[in-house]
Amino acid sequence: MAEVTPMMQKYLETKEEYPDCILFYRLGDFYEMFFEDALTASKELEITLTGKSCGLEERAPMCGVPFHAVDGYLNKLVAKGYKVAICEQVEDPKLAKGLVKREVVRIVTPGTNTNFQAIDEGRNNFIMCIAYFQGKTGISIADVTTGDYYLTEVEDNRKLLDEINKYSPSEIICNDAFLLSGIDIEDLKGRMHVAIYPLEPHFFDEERGRKSLLKHFHVTTLMGMGIEDFPSGLIAAGGLMQYLSDTQKTSLEHITHLYPYLTSKYMLLDSSTRRNLELTETLREKQKRGSLLWVLDKTKTAMGARTLRQFVEQPLIDKSKIEMRLNSVEALSKQAIERDEIREYLNPIYDLERLLGKVSYRSANPRDLIAFRNSLKMLPHIKTLLGDFQDALLSEIDGEIDAFDDICTLIENAIEEDPPVAIKEGGIIKTGFDETIDKLRHAKTEGKDWLAKLEEEDRERTGIKNLKIKYNKVFGYYYEVTNSYQSMVPDDYIRKQTLANAERYTNARLKELEDMILNAEDKLFSLEYDMFCQLRDAIAGEMERIQRTAKAVAKLDVLASFSFVAERNHYVRPAINEKGVIDIKGGRHPVVEQMISDEMFISNDTYLDNNKYCVSIITGPNMAGKSTYMRQAALIVLMAQIGCFVPAASANIGLVDRIFTRVGASDDLASGQSTFMVEMNEVANILRNATVNSLLILDEIGRGTSTFDGLSIAWAVIEHISNKKLLGAKTLFATHYHELTELEGKMNNVNNYCIAVKEKGDDIVFLRKIIKGGADKSYGIQVAKLAGVPDMVIDRAKEIVAQLCDNDILEKVQSITVNQKDTKHKAVKYDEVDLSQMSLFDTVKDEDVLNELKEIDVTTLTPLDALNTLYRLQNKLKNRWG
């Protein structure tokens, strides 16, 4: 086999070290890819595939991208789930002997991409490490752009999925056991667009992980970090740190803390609830507009936007912490002028957290530092305004914000007002900051003036009237003295060259000027770069100070946003109780009221507790507003528990540990599950995991199957929920099974409500008002008419519904005995065929029986004849129906 060229040999050696990455190999002004990488990249990036002679019989497939435009291509590959290894030239080609030395300087993955163009400034770009073990699963999460780093543990797959949905990571690294856990990996990849990479077992070695953390945080023990109580989480955090060190190849000094947390410290929101309540994006379009986050996010900074998202994703369940936030929002609202001034000062503040990430990666440029300085200039004004507030949390925030006079002054004195983006082409450091830089800069522009001045000074000093300073490429700058003045040459002159009628000299002063003039530009650029790096390192040295300030500014931004939204949308402060009572007067849906411009939103009351008002059964036609009403109640509770004012006339919110929703229906065809199966899976999850302190939002339970089966399931679910010995959770239950309204009289904690409707002949008007009592009909035909169903279909539907009403099942429902015991229910056969259903489709089959029944004159039959006739007809039907 032919030998490859030396360059290709080096490439292949590097590629062998990173087999799972696409290797961007720097050659001059391009990053080149070869062989399989070239085939993949040319297809994914839609760039030309060429070939390169490399010593083999066939040319190696090759493609490339220009180094100055690499970010766009890199982002495209990473967004598609590829890892990209960046191999750079690490020595000056002019100084290289033989091949230029190259090294992989960084591996870019979906969860470690730091390019601002590729990531949303308003959300974190999380990478998650999962150490899956029997009994306890360790989870660690990091954002390398901001320095956030967390760990926790969960007991089961359901809670693990809740954490995945909460953080929505762009990359998951895991042990092999996670792939065999039963969690639908393909669903995570497809629906959530998560790149999932299993790692080798050594990443999950406890001792190696511990050493990795000790090394990173420069400590000798982990005891003081509060993470020893999370053994599985510690393994995940150690594995994540090893992975980040291996891929980022930098110190990651902006990751200054590892924060452990318990999932039980926050309200539990499963993936269905997050989707159905549209907390951060809409259900259909996956857009921010139309979500709760869209309504609440009036933050001024990128840090604030990310913190607000975290607040919405993690509602509190600690009453004192909720009250602290509410106190701050109230204080800001009472001093609206000062609040608006604070928001004005927040507006120019740069993304301090991600700037620190760039500083840590040594990628921050001069303009970043100017933006940083401009941000720091706002902080003293904010601190002054915060001093006017008498509030504990705002005072705490004030104490955490540093004015940074030292750093601000340093940048102010050092960096030009309008510096270039490039850091190796000069023009960065201000005149007057460094004497050497000033001299070099003057040498570049004023060198001729300096030489003329020196020539004049030496002419006067020596008395040599024809003394001249000249230049050539061989000897550089020199003094030229004719032979007639040789006796006057001073002692500090050093002979360089002898000519026929003159001598050429130099001295220390001329050599200094020569060096400054000839090498001024190169030295200037190099010195400015070094000075800028020192400045950047000085900022890196204040990492913890800046991070603490950034977190405080972000929190202040969120609270100010809450206050601003509350004032603009007429929200009120909710009272918080621990008695389990939810009492909302004049509640409104926070999103829907913002989306409807021409009509006023109709407010409604909600009252739930753990006693008499445990379950509310809500009936009414489609489109009347049942789902909106129930979501509205859930969102008001959630808003209260993130510390925000709520859309209501008044609200007293009992703390809720979990919110569960079962809303809407959709087939999960990818996993082969029908609408009904998806619905039952969600119901099972709710009944297993809800507690007495949970809030349940259940919409149309049982509608995905036959009428009797659906009604029976809905009935049994309400029985189970309302039974305090089994669950007793606060529940809003919307249904079209009006028969369920019978439960109000049979259970002492079930109450009927309905949506008010006004009838005008065959037409209806939805009043959108919740009133006490149950609806007596569904108005389905009227809704169909509103939707534009043809009149002939509407008329036929009226005929059929009139016939069906004759076979009403209400009497059967009224005879059902409510099971209030916490024992197993007696087995009931729900698949037995009901005659009223049978007659819809099989009248022909039993027409003879029906005809005979019609023709019998019961007045002429003796009791014995009647019994014999009934027995004969019954046997005939039994033989047919089994």
Phi and psi at 489, nearest 5°, equal -65, 125
CA dist., res. 689 & res. 697, Å (int) = 14
C-beta of residue 480 within 8 angstroms of C-beta of residue 466: no
Range with lowest mean pLDDT among 126-130, 227-231, 458-462, 823-827: 823-827
Strands 171-174 and 127-132: parallel
Two tokens, residue 200: 């080798």
Res 468 pLDDT > 50: yes
Q: Can you give the pLDDT at residue 665? A: 54
| Averaged pLDDT, 794-817 | 69
In 519-652, alpha helices (H):
520-540, 543-569, 592-595, 626-641
DSSP 329-346: HHHHHHTHHHHHHHHHHH
Q: Can you give the pLDDT at residue 672? A: 47
| Averaged pLDDT, 250-260 | 93
Res 573 pLDDT > 50: yes
Two tokens, residue 668: 């999960």
Binned at pLDDT 50, 70 and 90, residue 861 comes out as confident
Q: Can you give the pLDDT at residue 99? A: 84
In 578-625, alpha helices (H):
592-595
Q: Can you give the pLDDT at residue 823? A: 45
Mean of pLDDT over the chain: 88
Provide the angle, in degrees to the nearest 10, between the axes of the packed helices 302-313 and 352-360. Answer: 110
Strands 127-132 and 137-143: antiparallel
Res 420 pLDDT > 60: yes
Cβ burial 829-864 (10 Å sphere, 16+ → b, else e)? eeeeeeeeeeeeeeeeebeeeeeeeeeeeeeeeeee
DSSP 360-398: HTT---HHHHHHHHHHHTTHHHHHHHHTT---HHHHHHH
Two tokens, residue 755: 């949506």
CA dist., res. 220 & res. 200, Å (int) = 26
Condensed to tens digits (0 to 9), the pLDDT of residues 498-552 reads 998 999 999 998 888 888 787 777 888 889 999 999 999 999 999 999 999 999 9
Q: Can you give the pLDDT at residue 668? A: 45
Q: Can you give the pLDDT at residue 809? A: 57
C-beta of residue 510 within 8 angstroms of C-beta of residue 453: no
Range with lowest mean pLDDT among 156-165, 272-281, 562-571, 873-882: 873-882
Q: Can you give the pLDDT at residue 752? A: 93
CA dist., res. 773 & res. 745, Å (int) = 11
Two tokens, residue 828: 């009931």
| Averaged pLDDT, 480-497 | 91
Q: Can you give the pLDDT at residue 840? A: 37
Two tokens, residue 323: 């009250």
Condensed to tens digits (0 to 9), the pLDDT of residues 203-241 reads 999 999 999 999 999 999 888 788 888 999 999 999 999
Range with lowest mean pLDDT among 483-487, 587-591, 704-708: 704-708
Condensed to tens digits (0 to 9), the pLDDT of residues 598-610 reads 668 889 999 999 9
Percent of the chain exceeding pLDDT 90 equals 60
| Averaged pLDDT, 143-147 | 94
Q: Can you give the pLDDT at residue 90? A: 85
Q: Does the predicted model carry a pTM greater than 0.85?
A: no
| Averaged pLDDT, 451-457 | 90
C-beta of residue 699 within 8 angstroms of C-beta of residue 660: no
Q: Can you give the pLDDT at residue 826? A: 44
Two tokens, residue 404: 């940074």
CA dist., res. 9 & res. 853, Å (int) = 96
Condensed to tens digits (0 to 9), the pLDDT of residues 594-642 reads 988 766 888 999 999 999 999 999 988 777 788 899 999 999 999 999 9
Res 815 pLDDT > 70: no
Phi and psi at 256, nearest 5°, equal -100, -15
Helix (H) or strand (E) holding 454: helix 435-462
Match 């590729």 to its residue by tokens. 118
Q: Can you give the pLDDT at residue 832? A: 40
Binned at pLDDT 50, 70 and 90, residue 879 comes out as low
What contacts 24+ positions apart, CB below 8 Å, involve 391-394? 391/327, 391/328, 391/331, 392/324, 392/327, 393/324, 393/325, 393/327, 393/328, 393/559, 394/328, 394/331, 394/332, 394/556, 394/559
Two tokens, residue 820: 């209030």
Res 818 pLDDT > 70: no
C-beta of residue 44 within 8 angstroms of C-beta of residue 55: no
| Averaged pLDDT, 244-270 | 93
Range with lowest mean pLDDT among 93-107, 234-248, 384-398: 93-107
Q: Can you give the pLDDT at residue 294? A: 96
Work out the burial of residue 466: count CB atoms within 10 Å of its CB; fewer than 13 is exposed, 13-18 middle, 19 or more buried. Answer: exposed
Positive or negative, the Cα torsion across 218, 219, 224, 226? positive
CA dist., res. 224 & res. 690, Å (int) = 35
Binned at pLDDT 50, 70 and 90, residue 783 comes out as confident
Work out the burial of residue 58: count CB atoms within 10 Å of its CB; fewer than 13 is exposed, 13-18 middle, 19 or more buried. Answer: exposed
